[in-house]
Amino acid sequence: MLTIRVKPSAFNSVYYPHLKNDHRYQIYYGGSSSGKSFFLATRAVLDCPQGRNYLVVRKVAKTLRGSCWNEIQKAITRHNLNNQFRIRQSDMIIEAKASGAQIVFAGLDDVEKIKSITPAKGVFTDIWMEEATECDYGDYKQLDKRLRGRSGFKKRFILSFNPVYLTHWIYVEFFSIWDDSKTYAERGSTSILKTTHKDNRFLEPEDHDALENERDEYFRNVYTYGNWGILGDVIFKNWHTEDLSEYMDLDGKLYFGLDFGFSSDPAAVIKVRFERAKKRILVLEELYERGLINTLLADAARPIVGRHPVTCDCAEAKSIMELRGCGINAIPSKKGADSVIHGIQWLQGYEIVVDVRCQNMRNELTLYQWRKDKDGNSLRVPVDKNNHLIDALRYALESEINAMPSSPPPRDYGNDKPSYWRK
What is the structure's pLDDT at 419?
A: 40
Note the helical H segments in 326-358: 339-347
**pLDDT interval class at 377 (50, 70, 90):** confident
Q: What is the mean pLDDT of residues 409-414?
A: 40
Q: Are 205 and 196 spatial neighbours (Cβ–Cβ below 8 Å)?
A: no
For the entire predicted model, the pTM comes to 0.61
> What's the pLDDT score for residue 414?
42
Coil, strand or helix at 170: helix
The rounded percent of the chain whose pLDDT value lies above 70 is 92
In the prediction, which pLDDT does 418 show? 41
Q: What pLDDT, on a 0 to 100 scale, did the predictor assign at position 367?
A: 79
> Which residue ranges make up each domain of the chain?
10-224, 239-422
Q: Name which CATH class applies to 10-224.
A: alpha beta
pLDDT single digits (tens) 24-37:
999 999 999 999 99
C-alpha distances (whole Å) from 70 to each of 75, 89, 105, 351 are 9, 11, 11, 46
Q: Are 133 and 161 within 8 A, CB to CB?
A: yes
Short-list 324, 311, 211, CA closest to 271: 311
Q: What is the pLDDT of residue 230?
A: 60
pLDDT tens-digit readout, 253-275:
899 999 999 888 899 999 999 99
Condensed to tens digits (0 to 9), the pLDDT of residues 214-228 reads 887 667 888 899 998
Q: How far apart are CA 328 and CA 343, in angstroms?
A: 25
The CATH architecture annotation of domain 239-422 reads 2-Layer Sandwich (3.30)
Residue 4 clears pLDDT 80, i.e. is over it: no
- Phi and psi at residue 331, to the nearest 5°: -130, 145
Out of 39-48, 163-172, 204-213, 398-407, least confident range: 398-407
For residue 76, which amino acid is it? Answer: I
- Give mean pLDDT, residues 317-333: 97
Mean pLDDT on 301-317: 95
Spell out the residues 6+ positions from residue 145 whose beta carbon is closer than 8 angstroms to its own. none
Q: Please state which of the ranges 67-81, 134-148, 342-356 shows the lowest mean pLDDT.
A: 134-148
Question: Does position 404 have pLDDT exceeding 70, yes or no?
Answer: no
Query: What is the pLDDT, as a whole number, of residue 310?
Result: 98
